[in-house]
């Protein structure tokens, strides 16, 4: 148990099964997703021509993300 030592007793929107990190609200999950995306933006050159991110695609990922589309923990990248 890595992350939940300071989050005990908190109701959770979603909990990671790997690192036990708690996201108490949908907004906290969205904020964590945006922080991670801001630190590690998608790199188009890694995907070749078939998967190319433009500025509008990145803005959609960053600004208009819905919590039901976030399927992994932002701390350890484990699927929920």
Full-model pTM: 0.69
Exposed e or buried b per residue across 16-35, where buried means at least 16 C-beta atoms within 10 angstroms of its C-beta: beeebbbbeeeebbbebbee
Locate 69 and state its tokens: 């589309």
pLDDT tens digits, residue range 17-30?
A: 888 888 989 999 99
pLDDT tens digits, residue range 5-19?
A: 555 566 789 988 888
| Arithmetic mean of pLDDT over the chain | 76
């Amino acid at each position: 148990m890595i992350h939940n030592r300071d989050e005990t007793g908190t109701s959770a929107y979603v909990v990671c099964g790997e690192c036990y990190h708690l996201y108490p609200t949908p907004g906290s999950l969205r904020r964590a997703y945006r922080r991670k995306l801001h630190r590690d933006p998608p790199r188009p050159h890694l995907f070749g021509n078939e998967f190319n991110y433009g500025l509008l695609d990145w803005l959609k990922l960053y600004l208009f993300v819905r919590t039901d589309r976030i399927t992994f923990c932002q701390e350890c990248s484990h699927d929920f």
